[in-house]
């Protein structure tokens, strides 16, 4: 189990970009699949993207393909979500997550959650 801390959220106009960061905070760190979920007001939490730490395999929700890119920086144990061409519908609280694999993450079997970072896209 790890603790995760997100950053990089903010207010941006439609068509703009943001980059979210997530890093573990705790006494230990192991290889995980890491990724992002989001939850808008009145909506259920939904999967956004994930990356397998060991080999860099990525998987995306269909609604972000071609716009968002998930990546990792091994030296910092940090995962990023580069969000381009943002839309008003992307407005949500974005949560970093860690799981045993991409498949378990997409099945909502998440081991650790970050506290969330707010992304607001104005139209």
108 pLDDT band, cuts 50/70/90, is: confident
Q: What confidence tens digit (pLDDT) does each residue in 87-103 have?
A: 999 999 999 999 989 99
Region of 66 (left: φ > 0; alpha: ψ -120 to 50; beta: rest) is left
Phi, psi (degrees; rounded to nearest 5) at 45: -65, 135
Q: What confidence tens digit (pLDDT) does each residue in 50-90 have?
A: 999 888 999 999 999 899 999 998 888 899 999 999 999 99
């Amino acid at each position: 189990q790890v603790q995760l801390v997100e950053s990089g959220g903010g207010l941006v106009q439609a068509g703009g970009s943001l980059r979210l960061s997530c890093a573990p905070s705790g006494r230990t760190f192991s290889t995980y699949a890491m990724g992002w979920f989001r939850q808008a007001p009145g909506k259920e939490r939904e999967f956004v993207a994930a990356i397998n730490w060991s080999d860099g395999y990525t998987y995306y929700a269909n609604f972000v393909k071609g716009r968002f890119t998930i990546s990792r920086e091994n030296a910092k144990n940090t995962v990023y979500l580069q969000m381009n061409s943002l839309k008003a519908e992307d407005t949500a609280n974005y949560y970093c997550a860690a799981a045993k694999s991409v498949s378990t993450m997409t099945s909502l079997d998440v081991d650790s959650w970050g506290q969330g970072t707010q992304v607001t896209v104005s139209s």
